[in-house]
Structure 1
Amino acid sequence: MFGSLLSKLTQPNPVPLADDDARLAITALLVRLARSDHAYGATEIDEINRILSKRYDLTRDAAAALLHEAEEIEAVAPDTVRFTNAVKDGVPLDDRMAVIEAAWSVVLADGVRTAEEDALMRMIPRFLGITDRESNEARLRAAKAMNGASI
């Protein structure tokens, strides 16, 4: 799967992603966002694992395995523009909205929003066909869910 997704990401003309490739690409995109501030720590890793478990109904071990593979993909994947275009072409709009909400959850997980994360969160929604307003609404939902979880 690793080589398959990388070859699709590097093709000049994107091809629709199969479900497994889309799942891996989305996870790698979350990893890229979490790593953007050079502070990829346990809080963000735990949040990504929580998202994967919930979104894909995975066990803890299966989520950790998917995350590990996504970390490897993210480290060698092409620029974020091609990455997000592949997700856009392979994932329906409703699912892309959920991806943006998940992305905001990762950004907010450690309680610190950095300039690097903010820059990616201005770019990623746009490349996924999500408006700034929709992204802001997703951010508010993610923040509300995080505040509700701590009560």
Structure 2
Amino acid sequence: MFESLRALFKKPEPYKTPLPEADAQHAMGALLVRVAKADKTVLFEEIKVIDQVLSKRYGLNPVEASKMRASCQLLESEMPDTEEMTELMKDTISVEEKEATLIALWSVVYADGVKHAHEDALLHQIEALLGVSPERAIELQAAAQS
């Protein structure tokens, strides 16, 4: 009986949103979020670019893109290792998709009008992990600025 009474006053476990599937799409979205967070401030402009990238890349409407971004934010917070996220993509996407991903990542960096050293270092790490040459990476970075 005492246990029944205790159960009445026990604080319920908080609801925890389940992690999305760790696939190439969500890994790319998580990297977009990670890049936005690299300067310790996520601005509306960066969120807008992330949603636009997800919408265009995966044929999502604005609400679906926002929901996917939220899932990717959760995945990003649970996956502390950038290498791990990049590995999910490295062998499953084409060279063209890798390059489009890098352009999208640089677009997030430039969305707030300021490029920080942390963002620059993170992007160069991702470029290397995806196997993109430094020369091609410079071209992709320039494409994101235009």
1:1-150 maps to which residues of 2 (within 5 A)? 2=19, 4-5=21-22, 21-144=23-146
State the one-letter code of the partner of 1:143: Q
Q: CA deviation at 1:93?
A: 1.6
Contact 2:24 2:89 in 1 (8 A): yes
Contact 1:96 1:128 in 2 (8 A): yes
SS of alignment partner, residue 39 of structure 1: coil
Structure 1, unmatched stretches of 5+, are 6-20, 145-151
When the two chains are superposed, the root-mean-square deviation of aligned CA atoms in Å is 1.3
Give aligned-pair identity as a percent: 36
What TM-score do you get using the length of structure 2 for normalisation? 0.84
After TM superposition, the runs of 4+ consecutive aligned structure 1 residues lying more than 3 A away are none
CA distance in 2, matches of 1:142, 1:89: 24
Structure 2, unmatched stretches of 5+, are 1-17
Contact 1:33 1:103 in 2 (8 A): yes
Q: CA deviation at 1:2?
A: 2.7
Aligned residues: 129
State the one-letter code of the partner of 1:2: L
Write 1 or 2 for the structure with the bigger share of helix. Answer: 1
CA distance in 2, matches of 1:4, 1:47: 22
What TM-score do you get using the length of structure 1 for normalisation? 0.81
Q: Which structure has the bigger radius of gyration?
A: 2
